[in-house]
A and B are shown apart, each in its own frame.
Chain A
Amino acid sequence: MKWAKLGKIFDPTKHELPNDCHEFAQSPQALVFDDFVRIYFSTRQRDPVNQKFLSHIAFVDMDKNFRNILNVSTGTVIELGGLGCFDEHGIFPMNVVGVKDKIYAYTCGWNRRVSVSVDTSIGLAVSEDNGLTFRKTGNGPILTSSLHEPFLVGDPFVSVINGAFHMWYIYGTKWISRPGAEAPPDRVYKIAHAVSHDNRTWIRDGRQLIPDKLNPDECQALPTVIRHNGRYHMYFCYREAIDFRKNSRRAYRLGYAWSDDSTHWARDDGHAGIDVSEEGWDSEMQCYPHLFRCDDRVCLLYNGNEFGRHGFGLAILEE
């Protein structure tokens, strides 16, 4: 794979954002219209109760050259959950998928815990207005903790293949508590896959889909899949479990895997064809990739340094 970087295409600090949000445009995900592309992202509000972050979904409409911003959302795209709900403290990310005449959003909802910082589950919402707003199908999640995926079920990416809904997502395997450390426990999560024939009942493969490269505590996030030239390609991001925020060598990088049947995957990071830049907005980390097709081009949205605090960029597949 060979990518041409277009650079950063959206900077949230240069726009007024809804829900009293400032900075962060994380996990960009595209919905392609005839004459523009709507890119959803997660941005952040300070919780007035305790100054912690609340993640909200917003979007930007861009022309198909990704040079001109046509519109930035001004209202609430999707409400956060009510008291005690799985998505009370944030939605991040949200995967938007057009299926026939419906637009679905698969959300990763966050709620805060006491002994660990957070848990996540996956929700489903539907839009009746071309993706301007989304209504949840219920107050609870469609995919959450289970016997062998005990917590942190999140980062959904859904694709319809031969009439079946395929979801790639992540699940937590452990929380690492370091005795004596002041920092709260750090999480470890892996990529998995589930399938559904009715978009309601999901059957999990029940296994880690992508082997670890760094070590057993490698954290793998945000799988995204596209079919191109007769083969399925997956990008995701991965990092070390601890000391990953400021230490660039341990921070998120983009990983790559391919498959001929969308079931068996070969990890092949050496052919990802994209890495951190020498300098600039994506020089320290790359994370939260999203693959999509725009007319005849294969495009890759992703975040750079500081997990997307200052926006996201785009690359176009050359070969």
Chain B
Amino acid sequence: MHNWKKLGRVFDPREIGNVEWMREFAQAPSVLMFDRFLRVYFSCRPLPDKNGQYVSYSGFVDFNRHNLFEIVRVSEKPILKLGDVGTFDEFGTYPVTVIRRGDEVIAYYGGWTRCESVPFNVAIGVAVSRDNGETFTKPGDGPVLSYSVDEPFIISGPKIRRFKNRWHLFYIAGRKWILADGRPEPVYKIRMASSSDGLNWERHGKDLIDSRVEENEAQASPDVFFHNGRYHMFFCYRYSSNYRGKERGYRIGYAHSHDLEHWVRDDAKAGIDVSEEGWDSEMVSYPHVFELDGDIYMFYLGNQVGRSGFGAARLEGKLT
């Protein structure tokens, strides 16, 4: 079992102050390394509208590279505009994942639209920054990875990686909507696509991770990290219904692979679980693993899927 030492919560959007677009939530942290600081992208929300509906924006927080508890800066405005009327990202840009390409920073993100019979649908968009990741512009109004024959809806949760000179996008694809007490709830599974240019994607077309807690288990945040000669994936999973509390809410799972296609799920090795009390006592989710000056860290969300921000853990021992 991996041994993660929890360091506590490092960012709480509610403490930032009077920022209209960042009232609460700091979801799906994604790291971009700089010489002197660590930039962490996340998705946040203004207060809900009069119907209780949210939009989501993405921003970033810069931490002192040598002290993750020291906030150097918080983005003054969202990094990305919401889409125009009728486009796939009209109501939200969540989550965001970033990677460098030469002098540019490329972001992939889930774009949210609202539907009539189900509450929402998601497709993956791309945006480019030429100012070190401060602002991003979209090359087009539509998504780069949208619905397909066997991935009919909710194409979301992107994690962009480059291994052996090829782009890999780990993401989730909706399998079905189930009705729980009359309320539509989505079931989604972890998938992968690869690309030579980052724009045209070839889907792998299979679930990467077996379902464990139930057939309709929902899986998210497939965070892949190469270390010690193998690929490690930390992700999160939950039950299909009544998952907003502790018992059936998100937990962090683990799998490993030698070739990115075949994965062995081994949640017992994940090494991180809910705390006895505090900000992550009901759920842990949306892990993101990165290496910083010789140590391996994980950012992750706590209760209510990041409503009160994200925390950090440091790996003690090895990732094997």
Contact = CB atoms under 8 A, between A and B. Distances in A.
Interface stretch (B60-68, B148-156, B207-215): B148-156
A48 interface: no
B151 A88 contact: no
Interface residues of B, number: 37
A175 B142 contact: no
B199 interface: yes
A150 interface: yes
A277 interface: no
A114 B115 CA distance: 5
Interface in B136-180: 139-144, 146-153, 174, 176-177, 179
Nearest to A185: B85
Contacts of B116: 89, 111-114
B85 A175 contact: yes
Given A83-B184, A139-B152, A140-B151, A145 B86 contact: no
Contacts of B153: 84-86, 140
B150 A150 contact: no
B117 A141 contact: no
A139 B150 contact: yes
B88 A83 contact: no
B152 to A, nearest CB: 3
A283 interface: no
Interface residues of A, number: 38
A141 B87 CA distance: 17
Interface string A137-163: 111111011111111000000000000
A113 B86 contact: yes
A111 B115 contact: yes
B147 A150 contact: no
B118 interface: yes
Interface in A116-147: 116, 119, 121, 123-124, 137-142, 144-147
Interface in A29-82: 81-82
Contact of A84 (B118, B123, B146): B118
A187 interface: yes
A89 B115 CA distance: 11
Given A150-B88, A151-B87, A145 B117 contact: no
A175 B84 contact: yes
A115 B116 CA distance: 10
A177 interface: yes
Nearest to A147: B140
Contacts of A84: 115, 117-118, 121, 152-153, 174, 176-177, 184, 186
A301 B268 CA distance: 64
Interface string A166-195: 000000101101000000010100000000
B113 interface: yes
Contacts of A146: 140, 142-144, 146
A47 to B, nearest CB: 10
B147 A112 contact: no
Interface in A227-281: none
A174 B87 CA distance: 9
A25 B179 CA distance: 34
B201 to A, nearest CB: 11
A147 B90 contact: no
A86 B199 CA distance: 23
Contacts of A88: 117
B115 A112 contact: yes
A313 to B, nearest CB: 33
Given A86-B147, A114-B116, A148-B140, A138 B87 contact: no
B188 to A, nearest CB: 11
A177 B149 contact: no
Contacts of B117: 83-84, 88-89, 111-112
B114 interface: yes
B179 A151 contact: no
Given A84-B184, A124-B149, A144-B146, 17 more contacts: A83-B176, A83-B177, A83-B179, A85-B153, A113-B113, A114-B115, A121-B147, A139-B150, A140-B150, A142-B149, A145-B142, A145-B143, A145-B146, A146-B143, A147-B143, A174-B86, A175-B85
Please give me the 10 A-B residue pairs with the lowest Cβ-Cβ distance, nearest first.
A140-B152, A150-B142, A138-B149, A147-B140, A112-B116, A175-B86, A114-B114, A150-B141, A139-B152, A84-B118
30 contacts: A81-B152, A83-B117, A84-B115, A84-B117, A84-B177, A84-B186, A85-B152, A86-B152, A89-B116, A112-B116, A113-B114, A114-B113, A115-B86, A116-B85, A137-B149, A138-B148, A138-B149, A140-B149, A140-B152, A142-B149, A145-B123, A146-B142, A147-B140, A147-B142, A149-B142, A150-B86, A151-B87, A174-B84, A175-B84, A185-B85
Interface of B: 84-88, 90-91, 113-118, 121, 123, 126, 139-144, 146-153, 174, 176-177, 179, 184, 186, 199
